Amino acid sequence: MSARTPAYVLGGTGYVAGEVLRLIAGHPQLELGGILSESHSAAPIGEAFPHLLGAYGDRRFAGIDEIDAAIRAASAAALFSAAPHGAAAATIDRLLSAAEAAGTRIHCVDISADFRYRSAAAYGAVYGHAHAAPARIAEFTCALPEHLGTAPTPHIAHPGCFASAILLAIVPLLAADLVEPVLFASGVTGSTGSGRKPVDGTHHPRRHGDLYAYNPLTHRHVPEILACAEAATGVAAELHFVPHSGPFARGIHVTVQARLRRPSSGASVREAIAAYYAGQPFVQVVGGPPRIKDVVASNYAHLGVAADGATVAVMSVLDNLTKGAAGGAMQWMNRLFGFEEAAGLTAPAPGWT
């Protein structure tokens, strides 16, 4: 019998689900138990993800009843949800209930927004529909692994991709009281951040060779980011964020600017941020401005710092599908199961992608 823990993935043919599969394929203690697809049930995994053929051969997507039965039959199960917000909560609730009924040890990391809010009312106000599993909300904590020691709940809500890049930059600034809590951020994301289904504003002919802002100062993830920052630092900050669509497939580059509390050099702020992340395996504070290519397809995030005495700029880069989604979720899953936090995640970026 295999000593590996079976992992179950929701979100089937989506980009993040594909990245979760890629990471499971290289994980020393997990193996794929099953991946749910609403639209491709029983189709070969390699049909949706040809780059994973070598890892999964003739394995196929599964339906919900098959996943449910497999979780009931397992002694332990790692559940990754990469389904869209609004669709994730009900399926997670069903599978957690199945595990509870069967006595299966289960931990879930949800990469959607469904369990990021502390109340169903707060979720409904932002997303415009009722929460599908309000009784489960208290079982989830929303945080980055770098900003919380031990998870106080059995399950985790991953904060998301832009949120990861911004939180890595702002939490050390707020925690050390280095800046006034009024933050300005500008970020650029690659096209995989928009998901697999092509829509007019995000598909290749429109996006290639171009750069444009979207939802300036109205991005709906801002309240989630601020709630995570406050939970990590105790500081209620303001964030004014302008996201952009970039002409590349993977990666996020965010620049956060703020006014310094005390006149400081770039070197001293860099030192403070590096000290905050000392011992964290996936956050590196670099000497100059960080570049997306140095982290794409890896679980590493790079932070760069500049200061002019009165203000500071922190540049933060990561891969939206890895550190900003599947890899960050895997970090949490490793902790929840008591594996090495970095298990399956230490491959460096390929560079020159």
Residues lying near ligand NAP in the complex (CB under 6 A) are found at: 11-17, 37-40, 82-85, 87, 111-112, 160-161, 192-193, 195-197, 320-321, 324-325
- Least distance from C-beta 109 to ligand NAP, angstroms? 11
- Least distance from C-beta 159 to ligand NAP, angstroms? 9
- Least distance from C-beta 260 to ligand NAP, angstroms? 31
- Least distance from C-beta 136 to ligand NAP, angstroms? 16
**Do residues 233 and 175 touch, judged by C-beta distance below 8 A?**
yes
Which runs of E-coded beta strand occur in 98-172?
A: 105-110, 140-142, 155-157
**Do residues 156 and 332 touch, judged by C-beta distance below 8 A?**
yes
- Least distance from C-beta 302 to ligand NAP, angstroms? 18
Of the pair 50, 309, the CB lying nearest ligand NAP is at 50
Of the pair 78, 269, the CB lying nearest ligand NAP is at 78
Q: Parallel, antiparallel, or unpaired for β 140-142 and 301-318? A: unpaired
Of the pair 81, 233, the CB lying nearest ligand NAP is at 81
Of the pair 324, 344, the CB lying nearest ligand NAP is at 324
Of the pair 82, 185, the CB lying nearest ligand NAP is at 82
For residue 281, the tally of other CB atoms under 10 A from its CB is 16
Residues noted as catalytic? 161
